[in-house]
Amino acid sequence: MKRLEQEPTMAEEPKKTKYDRQLRIWGELGQTALETASICLLDCGPTGSEALKNLVLGGIGSITIVDGSKVQIGDLGNNFMVDAKSVGQSKAKCVCGFLQELNDAVKANFIEENPDTLILKDPSFFSQFTLVVATQLVEDSMVKLDRICREANVMLVFARSYGLTGFVRISVKEHTAIESKPDHSLDDLRLNNPWPELKRFVETIDLNVVEPAAHKHIPYIVILVKVAEEWAQTHNSNLPSTREEKNEFKALVKSKMLSPDEDNYREATEAAFKVFAPRGFSQDTQDIINDSCAEVGPNSSDFWVMVAALKEFISNEGGGEVPLEGSIPDMTSSTEHYINLQNIYYSKAEADFLSMEQRVKNILLRVGQDPSSISKPTIKSFCKNARKLKVCRYRMIEDEFRTPSVALHKCLADEEYRSAIGFYILLRAVDRFAATYQKFPGQFDDGLMDHDVAQLKTIALSLLSEMGCDGYMLQDELYNEMCRFGAAELHVVAAFIGGITSQEMIKLITKQFVPMSGTYIFNGIDHKSQSLTL
Amino acid sequence: MADHDVPQSKSRDLDKLLLRHGNLVDPGFFPGPQLRNDIREFVKILVVGAGGLGCELLKDLALSGFRNLDVIDMDRIEVTNLNRQFLFRLEDVGKPKAEVAAKRVMERVSGVEIVPHFSRIEDKEVDFYNDFNIIALGLDSMEARKYINGIACGFLEYNEDDAPVRDTIKPMVDGGTEGFKGHARVIMPGVTPCFECTIWLFPPQVKFPLCTLAETPRNAAHCIEYAHLIKWDEVHKGRSFDPDVPEHMKWVYDEAIRRAELFGIPGVTYSLTQGVVKNIIPAIASTNAIISAACALETLKIVSACSKTLTNYLTYNGGEGLYTKVTDFPRLDDCLVCGPGILIELDTSITLSKFIEMLEDHPKLLLSKASVTYGESNLYMQAPPVLEEMLRENLSKPLYDLMGRVQKDTIHVTGTSLKDKEKQSIQTKLRVVFKGADVVTDMDTAIGA
């Protein structure tokens, strides 16, 4: 078999092939980010074990499991990472061993220590990690750990499984994503604002060419730019704005169609709305360039330095627009026209990139940073994704608990959110219950179920009162269900929550896609789970 | 925490759900040790597929109190499976997925019995599927889903009031994933929409117009598909393309590069070539874990009624934030698969033999070599020879008589249907209505809608 120059065949690079299916999602850069990340897991019950399993399979750099408990017989019924031989042994050791089996490349360690104790005694322990995933912690420990990780600038994700409910919550001061990779995003064609080179190219093509094959292989970009010009000439240089005008414009496009099999004209009619779309960029991007972090200084991150450059670009050579994304969607066209168009878009994107690169260098110099510290590929990616940048910020847990936002009241009143908010409150209430009674409500078959339900209700109501929500009632059934759950950690719920947790961790580490906002409350009763940003 | 002297039990956590009363439960929930034990002893679940979803499903079900599982998968393990199909190791590459998966779970979770079936789902007798309480699907194709859906819905019977007969409802739990997206759904034939009822949910595959491939390619995928779909046949007359043969894939890649160079199109890589030709769906462990967990949870709920069931379709997207939505899709009353059956109006004089002939020409069936069953009785069986001989005399009798002279009822037919040039064994139910003996029947209307 002839050896390929750039691309390895299936026979070579087994590592690459093993990760093939995920490389197609986050690419080499994402994979590298995962492989250089170090994760700390607190508590290796099924929730933590399942979360880590997914990361180990994906090739995470290293994992350190912190758990001081021994494997009990009950654990055999809910945790895949322990077996009958492990009973009586360190759970951290067993889980670590079984996880290691899933992927040789991962460095797996464990520490036999109770997470709550570690949080109290050795906060500096956590600074060494990229991300800490804390599962099954109670409120008190959550607050303490949150402070520690915030201080040390270590990413933190909380996860909890409790009967048929549970939650996942990210706690990071700020997370920025350049490659947010949204499912649907509008292409950047600038049909409403064509630049000189594009206009010049369009001029070289005659829409009224006689030969049928040529007529139906003119790409819609050309058609729409021409028709827009034609329109502007008879409408005071304006683009269609009212409903009638837009319909007229579409009719004008359609009128140039010579026969019904002209797909290019059909595409042009369907894409006509791109001509009257407003110029500029989204509110999200607007918010980012207006963010106070865009006023950069010597400690500013690469992201914000590039945002500062973007802001300058927009106000100057950008003429109110961000750098051109540079690619065009497929469309009916002759190969020649299409390739020419591609080159025109590519060239402008390149030119915009070069401007941005210069601005980035100047800003870095200005704030006293090394002007070559942000690489070309990074700046290029930033330019391509300028319309899709994402900034996520998360409140500290104690802030959320102490000063609940307005959203809480809204959720309590909204039918859609009722069960989710109910569980949110109850998940906190059970921790308070445990702090008082040294057990979770309904945890044991001790004949105290009615007492537990009543006490849980009292605690929940006082919690609501603390949060400024007197008068709100949670459904009675929820109290009963919560006590019925008795702090059970069911495998299927742990696997679900662990799955979500691992996915969020991947997004945080690779800085691709968009992490969830707020707290995800899992409702395993009817699957009407909700994300609550409180 | 307080230390309680309770004998330890493996089902410590599950017991809370199965042994205790609940408020938000399905009707028919009888909590107690009996329920837990019955699930262990008597409930049989079939997991279809031992890949990304299947591995997770086996683990989830084994750790949810189920002891009797079967798993069916026709594939062997490949290296590209290893980033998510966690029951497999590098040294397992080449071995049958079903067998290795079963072995690994049984090794880890004591007490669970998993019977592996290294075979195609079509190669199993229809009766095989009837053995299970619930069928959990971890499939990656529409065709496979349609097939199992057809089988499961084929067991469904309707009573005189056109209501589904409870005992004949074969629940299915179906999951699917693609990158960060996925879905989990509960199918109760006759009650919730079956796969066929909601076939519109699945968008058609992207196919490029032939003229684009042949004359005006514009991107790398066009060049690749040209090499794959057009050039291959031109050069390799007769020999069919096999994506699993590296030399074939390499040939397509080289041709695609040539074509791309001819047209000045960038972007053809070996990886893209594989992706386009094999229609590779990107896949990660986390999404599979989430969707399977949802499916396994529903399986537990359906069997035990320990909580309310998902009604009936969960959509999941984890790429942009976290998005889950539950939709209560309605059934199609006249669904060909889960509905009361294709209506066939017959004259009372039509013989069984004539009826079997009609099935071959019926536009919705195209069923050849049909065997016919009515309730518990076999009216005619094509095989085995002993049975065929025994029942041969029925062929000349009127179907009306063979069905006990009822005016209308459901019968089942099994046979070979020619679909997409491929012969498939299918089972369908038909609603037979006999027109009155004294009414002159017009042969044209004898075949139903």
Q: With H, G, I as helix, E, B as strand and everything else as coil, classify residue A267.
A: helix
Distance CA A429, CA A450 (A): 16
**Average pLDDT value for residue range A484-507:** 98
> What does the pLDDT look like over A363-416, one tens digit per residue?
999 999 999 999 999 999 999 999 999 999 999 999 999 888 878 888 888 888
- ipTM score above 0.90: yes
Which token pair is B379?
Answer: 């009216």
Q: Name the 3-class secondary structure at A415.
A: helix
Give the residue carrying structure tokens 């990616």: A381
CB-CB neighbors (< 8 A) of B319 in chain A: 181-183, 513-514
B312: left (phi over 0), alpha (psi -120 to 50) or beta: alpha
Mean pLDDT for the stretch of residues A165-183: 96
Whether the pLDDT of residue A321 is over 60: the answer is yes
Residues of A in contact with B60 (CB under 8 A): 491-492, 495
What are the strands, taking DSSP E only, across A51-146? 62-66, 107-111, 131-135
Closest partner CB to A520 (pick from B4, B264, B322): B322
Q: What's the pLDDT band for A11 if we cut at 50, 70, 90?
A: very low
CA distance B135 to B4: 39
Residue A184 sits at the chain B interface (C-beta within 8 Å): no
Picking from B63, B318, B326, the nearest residue to A78 by CB comes out as B63
| Cα→Cα distances B170→A50, A386, B164, B195, B215, Å | 31, 51, 11, 13, 50
Which of B13, B106, B303 to mutate: most A Cβ within 10 Å?
B13
| Paired tokens of A178 | 């350049």
Mean pLDDT of A127-150: 97
Task: Please identify among residues 336-355 of chain A the ones whose CB lies closer than 8 Å to any CB of chain B.
Answer: 338-339
- CB of B293 closer than 8 Å to CB of A493: yes
pLDDT at residue number A496: 98
Residues A62 and A52 sit within 8 Å (Cβ to Cβ)? no
Distance from CA of A237 to the nearest CA of B (A): 33
Catalytic one among B55, B153, B211, B306?
A: B211
The candidate with the shortest Cα–Cα distance to B189, out of B225, B211, B163, is: B163
Structure-block tokens of residue A280: 């500029």
Asked if the model's pLDDT at residue A6 lies above 60, the reply is no
Say if the Cβ atoms of B10 and A76 lie within 8 Å: yes
Residue A57 in tokens: 């399979």
Is the bond leading into B312 cis (omega within 30 degrees of zero)? Answer: yes
What's the confidence (pLDDT) of residue A9? Answer: 46
Note whether B8 contacts A72, CB cutoff 8 Å. Answer: yes
- DSSP-derived letter for residue A206 is -
Task: Spell out which residues of chain B touch residue A219, defining contact as CB-CB under 8 Å.
Answer: none
The alpha-helical segments, DSSP class H, found in A103-161 are: 115-121, 139-152
- Residue B437: what are its φ and ψ, rounded to 5°? -65, -30
Q: How confident is the model at residue A467 (pLDDT cuts 50, 70, 90)?
A: confident
For residue A106, list chain B residues with Cβ-Cβ distance below 8 A. Answer: none
Residues linked to residue A107 through DSSP beta bridges, in sequence order: A62
CB pairs under 8 A between A and B: 263
* In contact, A263 and A212? CB cutoff 8 Å: no
Distances, alpha carbon B154 to alpha carbons B146, B288, B338, in Å? 12, 29, 7
Measured CA distances, A217 to A115, A254, B202 (Å): 66, 15, 31
Contact: B4, A514; criterion CB under 8 Å: no
Q: Hey, is A156 helix, strand or coil?
A: strand
The answer to whether A493 contacts chain B (CB < 8 Å) is yes
Mutation target to probe the B interface, by most B beta carbons within 10 A, among A6, A21, A450, A507 is: A21
Of B287, B47, B12, which Cα lies nearest the Cα of A496? B287
User: Are A431 and A138 a contacting pair, CB within 8 Å?
Assistant: yes
Tokens of A240: 């269609």
Of A24, A481, A496, the CB nearest to B275: A24
Is A213 within 8 Å of chain B by CB?
no
Residue B245 neighbours by CB distance under 10 Å: 10
Confidence label for A357 from pLDDT (cuts 50, 70 and 90): very high
Contact B293 A499 (CB under 8 A): yes
- C-alpha distance from B103 to closest chain A C-alpha (Å): 14
Which residue in A70, A512, A525, A533 has the most chain B C-beta atoms within 10 A of its own C-beta, making it the best mutation to test that interface? A525
pLDDT at B421: 67
Beta-ladder partners of B426: B415
Residues of chain A neighbouring B307 (CB-CB closer than 8 A)? 164, 524-525
Asked if the Cβ–Cβ distance from B289 to A504 is below 8 Å, we say no
Q: Is the Cβ–Cβ distance between A295 and A309 less than 8 Å?
A: no
Contact call for A335 and B285, based on CB within 8 A: no
Q: What pLDDT does residue A185 have? A: 84
Residue A27's pLDDT band (cuts 50, 70, 90): very high
3-class DSSP assignment, residue A414: coil
- For residue B320, the distance in angstroms to the closest alpha carbon of chain A comes to 5
**Hey, is the C-beta of A9 within 8 angstroms of any chain B C-beta?**
yes
| Interaxial angle between packed helices A418-437 and A406-413, expressed in degrees from 0 to 180 and rounded to the nearest 10 | 110
Residues of chain B contacting residue A442, judged by C-beta atoms under 8 Å apart: 16, 20
Average pLDDT rounded to a whole number, residues A277-284: 89
Contact A518, A106 (CB under 8 A): no
The verdict on A15 touching B (C-beta cutoff 8 Å) is no
CB pair distance less than 8 Å for B290 and A72: no
> How far is A32 from A380, CA to CA, in rounded Å?
19
**Mean of all residue pLDDT scores within chain A:** 93
Say if A417 is an interface residue toward chain B (CB within 8 Å).
no
Confirm whether B211 is a catalytic residue: yes
Return the pLDDT at B365. 82
The C-alpha atoms of residue B82 and residue B285 are separated, in whole angstroms, by 10
pLDDT number for residue A404: 80
Phi, psi of B202 (to 5 degrees): -100, 115
- CA dist B97 and B86 (Å) reads 11
Pairing of strands B323-327, B313-317: antiparallel
Q: Where are the alpha helices (DSSP H) in A204-330?
A: 212-215, 220-234, 243-255, 263-271, 273-276, 283-290, 302-315
CA-based nearest residue to A250, from A233, A232, A227: A227
User: Are the Cβ atoms of B13 and A489 closer than 8 angstroms?
Assistant: yes
Share of residues in chain A with pLDDT > 70 (%): 97
Task: Name chain A contacts of B59, Cβ cutoff 8 Å.
Answer: 80, 491, 495
**Distance between B74 CA and the closest CA of chain A, angstroms:** 20
Each residue's pLDDT, cut to its tens digit, for chain B (449 residues) gives 445 556 689 999 999 999 999 989 998 999 999 999 999 999 999 999 999 999 999 999 999 999 999 999 999 999 999 999 999 999 999 999 999 999 999 999 999 999 999 999 999 998 999 999 999 999 999 999 999 998 999 898 888 777 899 999 999 999 999 999 999 999 999 999 999 999 888 877 778 988 899 999 999 999 999 999 999 999 998 889 999 898 999 999 999 999 999 999 999 999 999 999 998 999 999 999 999 999 999 999 999 999 999 999 999 999 999 999 999 999 988 787 898 878 788 999 999 999 999 998 888 788 888 999 987 789 999 989 999 999 999 999 999 999 998 888 878 888 888 766 677 777 777 888 898 754 444 444 444 44
Chain A residues closer than 8 Å to B86 by CB: 53, 57, 102
For A503, name the nearest residue in chain B, comparing CA atoms only: B286
DSSP A36: T
Give the C-alpha separation, B19 to A373, whole Å: 62
Q: DSSP assignment, residue A88?
A: T
| Cα within 13 Å of Cα(A408), Cβ side | 20
* CB < 8 Å to B21, chain A: 484
Residues 151-170 of A with CB under 8 A from B: 163-164
Query: In the block, which residue shows the tokens 């057990």?
Result: A439
A351 Rama sector, left if φ>0, alpha if ψ -120 to 50, beta otherwise: alpha
Give the Cα separation of B245 and B240 in Å (integer): 11
- Strand ranges of the sheet holding A131-135, from the earlier edge strand across to the other edge: A107-111, A62-66, A38-42, A131-135, A155-162, A165-171, A519-523, A530-532
Of A367, A350, A364, A366, which is closest to residue A306 (Cα–Cα)? A364
Tell if the CB–CB gap between B286 and A330 is shorter than 8 Å.
no
For residue A258, give both structure tokens: 């010579």
User: Which member of B13, B86, B319 has the closest CB to residue A53?
Assistant: B86
> Measured between alpha carbons, how far is B388 from B390 in angstroms, rounded to an integer?
5
Residue A271 has phi, psi (to 5 degrees) of -95, 0
CA dist., res. A419 & res. A526, Å (int) = 10
What's the distance, CA B373 to chain centroid? Answer: 23
Surface of A (85-104) touching B: CB under 8 A? 101-102
Dist CA A460 CA A454 (whole Å): 10
A53 to chain B: which residues are within 8 Å by CB? 86, 285, 289
Comparing CA positions, the residue from A370, A461, A393 lying closest to residue A170 is A393
